[in-house]
Amino acid sequence: MSLKETVLAIGGELGFDQVQIGSIAPMTQAADHYQHWLDKGYAADMEYLKRDPARRSDPAKTFAPAKSVIIVSVNYYSVPPPPPPGSFGRVARYAVGQDYHTVIRKKLGDFCALLEKEAGRPIAARPVTDDAALYEQALASRHGLGFVGKNSLVIGPKLSGSYNFIAELFVDLDLEPDLEYQGTCGNCVRCIAACPTSAIKDGTINASAITNGAALMVDANLCISYLTIENKGGIPLALRSQMGDWVYGCDICQEVCPYNSKPPSAPWPEFAPDNGAGHYLNLPQLLQIDSDEKFVKRFQKSPLRRPKRRGLLRNALVVMGNQLKQDHSCSSEIIEAIDGFARAEADQMLLEHSVWALTQSPVHSAKIVLADIIARLATETRAQVQAYV
């Protein structure tokens, strides 16, 4: 076998669904698209995405010794069971198992070791698992892993869909790069229509952008995944009711995508819900986590550590508010849980979200708890809640 064929064989042996070879040449058109996305303000307050944007479109800057990039993908899909009775919040499918950073980084280490054995020499390499200043969607699209859909996700060929992790192994090997995959969303607008917050926006740069599929962008300020994971502040009032029951991330734009009509299941057990947080979180139990130490212990192998205790509990309170408004079957459980939580909590942002959640309930006991919490708010927070109480 040629060296490239050896790379592909190793990737298949390790269980990656796709393996493509990329070049380290700059991505000029992608750079313009990314900068336009930044200029529109769609990166919200994710400052790390705004630093040195030119670096993201130049793969050579990710790892100086690299001559090629091995681009891989692996499916993480699993079917969620029906929601349990009571107050539970949904978790995006990518996060139901173990943290993909750790799992894929280990696999890429194994990849490099096997490749060194076949090459007969040490290989200078750097694994990247969503942890480098790299425009991964553009790189994956340029070299055949799939095409970038209207929801900004890479959609793989032959109905392999978008439920895929993408990662890279930069190596000092000369490998022939693969060509771009020709795919398109066509006239389909299901993801745009289904997004509760209208986060998928027109991002047209010029006429050619429409032709190559780059005419749409995701505004992170409105995206539920951003709001529940990367957002460090409170959830904007206007968007809280639109979060539904998503306590971590969101899959709506993927669930309605025709390319995800028959998604393959995750090949690795690490991504199974039984090995992680699962598809649903018990929200009253979540509110009982009263320290950062307990939070880290509870989610030590999970991506759900990302928003930290403060962020995840904020999300839980919003979901509980939505449940109080829409479903009265578990009102008593939710009101009791928020009451106990607020009595011991000092964080004003979390207390404000507790107040909002209770205002969604028509149940009389919620009004009693609500009055008690408001009486204990700081002056500034009390003024804030007057807008909706």
Strands 88-91 and 200-202 come out as unpaired
Average of pLDDT values for 55-59?
Answer: 96
Distance, CA of 215 to chain centre: 22
Cα-Cα-Cα-Cα dihedral sign, residues 151, 152, 156, 161: negative
Decide if 217 contacts 244 (C-beta within 8 A): no
Neighbours of 293 (CB within 10 A): 10
Give CA–CA dist 369/113, Å, rounded. Answer: 59
CA 47-51-56 angle, to 5 degrees, is 120
Q: What's the token pair of residue 223? A: 């995206």
**1, pLDDT greater than 90:** no
DSSP run (H or E) holding 292: helix 292-298
The pLDDT value recorded for residue 211 is: 41
Please report the pLDDT score of residue 146 as a whole number: 95
Q: What's residue 179's pLDDT?
A: 96
Spatial separation of the C-alpha atoms in residues 310 and 292, rounded to whole Å = 9
Taking the CA atoms of the chain, what radius of gyration do you get in angstroms? Answer: 23
Residue 319, strand partner residues: none
Q: What does the block give as tokens for 155?
A: 């959609």
Q: Quick one: DSSP state of residue 97?
A: S
pLDDT score for 331 = 95
| Distance of alpha carbon 65 from alpha carbon 191, whole angstroms | 40
pLDDT at 212 over 50: no
Separation of alpha carbons 69 and 76, rounded Å: 22
Give the Cα separation of 199 and 243 in Å (integer): 12
Q: pLDDT tens digits, residue range 263-321?
A: 999 999 999 999 999 999 999 999 999 999 999 999 999 999 999 999 999 999 999 99
Question: 56-60, 173-177, 208-212, 338-342: lowest mean pLDDT where?
Answer: 208-212
pLDDT for res 209 = 46
Q: Tell me if 90 sits within 8 A of 245, measured CB to CB.
A: yes
**Confidence (pLDDT) at 216:** 83
Selection from 84, 85, 72 nearest residue 20 by Cα: 72
Residues paired with 169 in a beta bridge: 70, 127
The pLDDT of residue 210? 40
Of 243, 197, 189, 239, the residue nearest 216 (C-alpha) = 189
Quickly state the pLDDT bin for 205 (edges 50, 70, 90). Answer: low
Query: Residue 120 phi/psi, 5° resolution?
Result: 75, 25
Q: How many CA atoms lie within 13 A of 122 on its CB side?
A: 3
What are the strands, taking DSSP E only, across the chain? 18-22, 68-75, 88-91, 125-128, 147-148, 154-155, 164-171, 200-202, 216-218, 246-248, 280-282
* Secondary structure (3-state) at 312: helix
Looking at residue 115, its amino acid is L
Q: Which of 39, 45, 52, 130 is catalytic?
A: 130
Dump the DSSP string for 195-225: -TT--EEE---SHHHHHTT-SEEE-TTT-HH
Tens of pLDDT, residue by residue over 4-36, are 999 999 999 999 999 999 999 999 999 999 999
Backbone angles phi, psi at 363, to 5 degrees: -70, 135
pLDDT in tens, 91-132: 999 999 999 999 999 999 999 999 999 999 999 999 999 999
Residue 207 has pLDDT above 60, yes or no: no
Strands (E), 228-332: 246-248, 280-282
> Which residues, in sequence order, are bridge partners of residue 155?
147
Predicted TM-score of the model (pTM): 0.94
Long-range contacts of 3-10 (CB under 8 A, 24+ apart): 3/118, 3/119, 3/173, 3/175, 4/175, 4/176, 6/115, 6/118, 7/70, 7/115, 7/175, 10/111, 10/114, 10/115, 10/118
Q: Is 175 left (phi over 0), alpha (psi -120 to 50) or beta?
A: beta
Give the mean model confidence (pLDDT) for residues 126-144. 96
- Catalytic: 45? no
Q: What percentage of the chain exceeds 70 in pLDDT?
A: 97
How high is the mean pLDDT of the chain? 94
